[in-house]
A and B are shown apart, each in its own frame.
Chain A
């Protein structure tokens, strides 16, 4: 089943399209990463899906229900960007109030459980006005999951968090997926998207320029798998033949007596290269494969 489906979703301010006819499908149970530079339109896209802003044209459905729909709201959890929390409330009251708005009254124990999940177990009675930025961020995530939604939107969930807290949130997001929930998140932290997202879309100038699994995206930008081999010196009689073949197998060939580095377009080529060295009776001691990081792909765009 599709958790999110958008059809030519469009948002225009004046004559400027901020989101330009996006068609996107997110399957249930996956962690979907939405990438893009500042101003690419990521937040506007999420805001339209969650009812914060209204689409100019196009349509969408969430969990199979055409939106914008009031009845779907109790099944979604949202951590909007740039939001301020209710400063006069404690974390516990916050969760109880927002959960009741979603039509689910939660017990103190449930609130404590969710606060513990985000690492705020000691701050339940503390007023939000006394929270640090990181604590507010964690409470933002807590309020998005307190009512046990099936679909969770997280806009930059770990920005501003220290490394330990970010790792904690990553684990939480993965555990939510393991419970069968769908997580749709935007991030500037490309490493985290690469680590935890099963599918990714890259947004630029209001449109999606590429989407797919990490492997699909890598194969799209496939010319960048770098292989470095540490080996015995190549016998003089074999070197010319081997290097001639390597020139055809890949690009950016670098050779020293003990190391050979080459950039190939497919993982299959790695096996062929190793076989070619073995056929020339050259012992290989180490093979290092460097795939393009998401950041490198992202910057390439």
Chain B
């Protein structure tokens, strides 16, 4: 699992897409933190929101484009190996669970490292490191990576997951926010499956997001164990 995770982690850093995404995260973090005082004067904010004003830019990017970024990098994490038949080398050497969790771990550490650097950059201006918000963001990323891995297991063709990834990446934050905030009783029960609901709650309920991610990984593992290569 470590070998697969390490390979996934390193390969993610090597792609042009990942360099662009890291650049977006860092530039957004840097400038939104640097000019957060201007932003604070421009809009009406609560005391709590004022306290976290430095992270607003990064949170905006991750909430609205996070799923798109994750899908962009990990939509073919599993099915590319199946499509190119390199999966045959992997499944004859190690367990399918280790392959799946290795892939997940590689992607997770990539996002963990990228978000950590962004938060450290913000902390230069805010002079504090907000572990609570950082944990919330990591929970959201964990959910998004799990969704990308599940999609990559369920859909065998990378070209289709690329299309679906863009679609889900664009729709997820819109639908997620709507489901989390709507009063429509026919729809609102879905909020329990949306990570945005737990983030809006702004308490430790966000830990449930890790459970949702775990459920998706369990589903991915069940399907992956039955796959033939």
Confirm or deny: B226 has a beta carbon within 8 angstroms of a beta carbon on chain A: yes
Q: Nearest chain B CB to A211's CB is how many angstroms away? A: 24
Contact of A80 (CB < 8 Å), options: B11, B84, B92, B228:
B92
Q: Residue B94 contacts which of A70, A80, A88 (CB distance < 8 angstroms)?
A: A70
B17 within 8 A of A: no
Residues of chain A contacted by B93 (CB below 8 angstroms): 73-74, 78, 98, 101-102
Question: Given A54-B228, A73-B94, A101-B93, is A83 in contact with B3 using a C-beta cutoff of 8 Å?
Answer: no
A84 touches B84 (CB 8 A): yes
Closest to B7 in A: A97
B4's closest neighbor in chain A, by CB? A101
> Which DSSP category, helix, strand, loop or mixed, fits chain A's interface?
loop
Residues of A near B128 (CB, < 8 A) are none
Bits for A80-98, please: 1 = Cβ < 8 Å to B, else 0: 1011111010000000011
Whether the Cβ atoms of A53 and B4 lie closer than 8 Å is no
Per-residue CB contact flags for chain A residues 48-65 toward chain B (1 = under 8 Å, else 0) read 001111100000000000
- A103 neighbours in B (Cβ, 8 Å): 94
Question: If A83-B89, A97-B3 touch, does A102 touch B228 (CB 8 Å cutoff)?
Answer: no
A6 to chain B, nearest CB (A): 17
Complex Cα spacing A97 to B10, Å: 13
Count of chain B residues with Cβ under 8 Å from any Cβ of A?
A: 19
Given contacts A80-B89, A143-B89, contact A52 B229 (CB under 8 A): yes
* CB pair B92 A76 closer than 8 Å: yes
Q: Which residue of A lies closest to B1 (CB)?
A: A101
* Neighbouring A residues of B94 by C-beta, 8 Å: 70, 73, 101-103
Contacts A100-B3, A101-B3 given; indicate if A51 touches B92 (C-beta within 8 A).
yes
Q: Are B92 and A70 in contact (CB under 8 A)?
A: no
In the complex, which residues of chain B have a beta carbon less than 8 angstroms from the beta carbon of A100?
Answer: 2-3
Interface assignment of B45: CB less than 8 Å from any CB of chain A: no
Closest to A48 in B: B228
CA separation between A135 and B7, bound complex, in Å?
24
Choose one: A73, A80, A97, A102; the contact of B88 (CB below 8 Å). A80
Contacts of B89 in A (CB 8 A): 78, 80, 83, 85-86, 98, 101, 143
Considering only CB atoms, which chain B residue lies closest to A13 in the complex? B228
Instruction: Quote the shortest CB–CB distance from B226 to chain A (angstroms).
Output: 7
Q: Which of B11, B85, B228 contacts A53 (CB 8 A)?
A: B228
Q: Which of A198-240 contact B (CB under 8 A)?
A: none
Contact yes or no, A82 B85, CB < 8 A:
yes
Chain A residue contacts of B92, Cβ below 8 A: 50-52, 73, 76, 78, 80
Chain B: CB-nearest residue to A144: B92
Q: Are A51 and B86 touching (Cβ within 8 A)?
A: no
- Contact residues in B for A84 (Cβ distance below 8 Å): 84-86
Which residues of B are found within 8 Å of A73, using beta-carbon distances?
Answer: 92-95
CB nearest to A100 among chain B residues: B3
Instruction: Give complex CA distance A267, B26 in Å.
Output: 83
Cβ–Cβ < 8 Å partners of A85 in chain B: 86, 89
Among B84, B86, B88, residue most surrounded by chain A Cβ atoms (within 10 Å): B88
CB proximity of B200 to chain A, nearest CB, Å: 42
Which of chain B's residues have a CB closer than 8 A to the CB of A70? 94-95
Closest to A46 in B: B92
A-B contact pairs, 8 of them (CB 8 A): A53-B228, A53-B229, A80-B92, A83-B89, A98-B93, A101-B4, A101-B93, A103-B94
Given contacts A86-B89, A101-B94, 7 further A-B contacts (CB under 8 A): A47-B228, A53-B229, A54-B228, A73-B93, A73-B95, A97-B7, A100-B2
